[in-house]
C-alpha cells in the first residue's frame, strides 16, 4: 500500500514577495540615510532656499525708520541682482579672482602632477616620508596657514627679510599692491598641492605593471613612460582635480580675510565672498548679500559643469 503526500500549492508571487520582515528590510536603508537627509535639509537645502528668497526682497523704510512698522520687507524682484552685477566693487573682485585662478590652478596642478610622477618613479626613495611631507600642508587649516605665511611676509618680523637685509638685497614686500595677489596665491598652492598629488598618485598606482614592462621592452625610458603612458591614463584624475581647484578658487575667502589685518592692500571686497560677508555682517544688507551669493553659486555651477560637458563632448568626439 502506497501513500502519497499531498503537494502544497505554491504561494503566489505576490505572497512570496510579502514575506514577514520584508517591509522592515526595505525600510532599513532609509533609517540609515535619515540622519544625513535631515542634516542636508536643515543645514544646506533650507539655507539655500532662504538665501534665494532673500535675494528677491528688500527693506522699505518709512519716515525716520523708528518705531514698529517703520521697516518692512517688500518684494524687490531682480533689482538686487542688477545692482550686484553693476557694482564696480563686485566686478573688480571678480577680476582679481580670475587672475588669482590663472596663477593658482595651473601652478598647483602642475606641481601635483610632477610630485606624483616623481613618487611613482622606480628610482624614487623614501616615498612614504615624501608623500606625508607633501600632503601635510593640506592638513593645516587655512586660517592657521594664512597666519603663518602672513608673518613670514611681514618685513619687520620675517626671518627671510632679515636674511635678505643682511645680504644687502632690496626685496620688495609681498604685501605691496602689485605682489599681494601672489602672496595669497602662494598660500593656496602650498596647501592644495598635497591633496591633488594624492589623487593623481592614487591613479598612477592603479596602472597595471604590464604596461611598464612592455614599454621597457620597447626601449622606452622613464620620461617616455610618463609622457606616453602615465599622463594620458591619469587625465580623468587631472580633470577632477581641476574642477575641484576651480570651485575652491571661486570661493576663496579665508586666506585674504586672514591677511587683511596685516596689510592695507587687501580691501574688504577683495574677493566676491568677502564682499558678501561685508554686505551681510558689517553693513547689514542681507538682501544684497543674498543676491551676490546666489550669483556666485550659479557661476560656480555653470563653470564647473560647463567644463565637464566640454571635456565629455570632446572625449566622445575623439572616440567616434
Closest by CA to 185, choosing from 280, 96, 70, is 96
Closest by CA to 121, choosing from 50, 198, 204, is 204
Confidence of residue 129 (pLDDT cuts 50, 70, 90): confident
Task: Give the span between the Cα atoms of 108 and 242, in whole angstroms.
Answer: 9
Buried b or exposed e, range 116-139, using 16+ CB within 10 angstroms? bbbbbbeeeeeeeeebeebbebbe
Mean pLDDT of 270-274: 96
**Residue 221 in 3-state DSSP?**
coil
Helices 235-250 + 286-319 axis angle, to 10 = 170
C-alpha cell at 310: 566640454
Q: What is the pLDDT of residue 12?
A: 54
Task: Give the span between the Cα atoms of 185 and 104, in whole angstroms.
Answer: 6
Task: Give the span between the Cα atoms of 309 and 184, in whole angstroms.
Answer: 30
For the chain, percent of residues with pLDDT exceeding 70: 88
Mean pLDDT of 224-243: 90
Higher pLDDT: 123 or 287? It is 287
Mean pLDDT of 174-183: 92
Q: What is the pLDDT of residue 63?
A: 61
Question: Which residues, at least 6 apart from 297, have a Cβ–Cβ distance to it below 8 Å?
Answer: 48
**Residue 57 in 3-state DSSP?**
strand
Confidence of residue 235 (pLDDT cuts 50, 70, 90): very high
Domains of the chain listed by start with CATH number: 31-77 (no CATH), 94-319 (1.10.3720.10)
Mean pLDDT of 261-280: 94
**Residue 34 in 3-state DSSP?**
helix
Q: What is the pLDDT of residue 17?
A: 52
* In the predicted structure, residue 4 carries a pLDDT above the cut 70: no
Reported as type and span, the H/E element at residue 277 is helix 272-277
* In the predicted structure, residue 20 carries a pLDDT above the cut 80: no
Residue 128 half-sphere exposure toward CB, CA atoms < 13 A: 0
Higher pLDDT: 310 or 10? It is 310
**Residue 123 in 3-state DSSP?**
coil
For the chain, percent of residues with pLDDT exceeding 90: 57
DSSP single-letter state for residue 9 = P
Tens digits of residue pLDDT in 180-200: 999 999 999 999 999 999 999
Determine the Cα angle at 12 with ends 11 and 15, to 5°.
80
78 near 218, Cβ under 8 Å? Answer: no
Q: What is the pLDDT of residue 199?
A: 94
The mean pLDDT value of the chain amounts to 87
* In the predicted structure, residue 1 carries a pLDDT above the cut 80: no
Q: What is the pLDDT of residue 282?
A: 93
C-alpha cell at 243: 574642477
Strand partners, 58: 74
Which of 82-86, 126-130, 135-139, 239-243 shows the lowest mean pLDDT across its residues?
A: 126-130
Please tell me whether the overall predicted TM-score, pTM, comes out greater than 0.75 for this model: yes
The length of the chain in residues reads: 320
Amino acid at each position: 500500500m502506497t501513500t502519497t503526500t499531498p503537494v502544497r500549492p505554491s504561494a503566489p508571487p505576490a505572497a512570496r514577495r510579502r514575506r514577514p520582515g520584508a517591509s522592515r528590510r526595505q525600510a532599513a536603508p532609509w533609517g540609515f540615510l535619515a540622519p544625513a537627509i535631515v542634516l542636508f535639509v536643515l543645514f544646506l537645502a533650507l539655507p539655500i532656499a532662504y538665501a534665494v528668497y532673500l535675494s528677491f526682497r528688500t527693506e522699505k523704510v518709512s519716515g525716520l525708520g523708528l518705531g514698529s512698522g517703520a521697516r518692512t520687507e517688500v518684494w524687490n524682484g531682480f533689482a538686487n541682482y542688477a545692482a550686484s552685477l553693476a557694482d564696480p566693487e563686485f566686478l573688480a573682485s571678480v577680476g582679481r579672482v580670475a587672475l588669482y585662478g590663472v596663477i593658482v590652478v595651473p601652478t598647483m596642478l602642475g606641481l601635483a602632477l610632477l610630485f606624483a610622477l616623481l613618487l611613482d618613479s622606480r628610482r624614487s626613495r623614501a616615498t612614504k616620508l615624501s608623500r606625508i611631507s607633501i600632503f601635510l600642508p593640506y592638513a593645516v587649516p587655512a586660517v592657521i596657514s594664512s597666519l603663518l605665511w602672513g608673518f613670514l611676509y611681514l618685513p619687520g618680523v620675517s626671518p627671510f627679510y632679515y636674511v635678505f637685509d643682511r645680504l644687502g638685497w632690496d626685496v620688495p614686500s609681498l604685501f605691496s599692491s602689485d605682489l599681494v595677489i601672489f602672496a595669497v596665491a602662494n598660500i593656496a598652492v602650498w596647501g592644495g598641492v598635497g591633496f591633488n598629488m594624492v589623487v593623481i598618485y592614487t591613479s598612477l598606482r592603479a596602472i597595471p605593471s604590464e604596461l611598464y614592462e612592455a614599454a621597457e621592452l620597447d626601449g622606452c625610458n622613464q620620461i617616455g613612460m610618463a609622457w606616453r603612458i602615465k599622463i594620458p591614463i591619469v587625465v580623468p584624475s587631472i580633470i577632477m582635480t581641476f574642477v575641484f581647484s576651480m570651485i575652491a578658487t571661486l570661493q576663496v575667502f579665508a586666506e585674504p580675510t586672514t591677511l587683511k589685518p596685516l596689510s592695507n592692500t587687501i580691501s574688504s571686497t577683495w574677493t566676491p565672498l568677502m564682499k558678501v560677508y561685508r554686505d551681510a555682517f558689517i553693513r547689514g544688507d542681507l538682501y544684497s548679500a543674498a543676491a551676490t551669493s546666489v550669483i556666485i553659486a550659479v557661476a560656480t555651477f555653470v563653470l564647473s559643469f560647463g567644463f565637464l560637458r566640454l571635456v565629455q563632448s570632446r572625449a566622445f568626439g575623439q572616440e567616434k
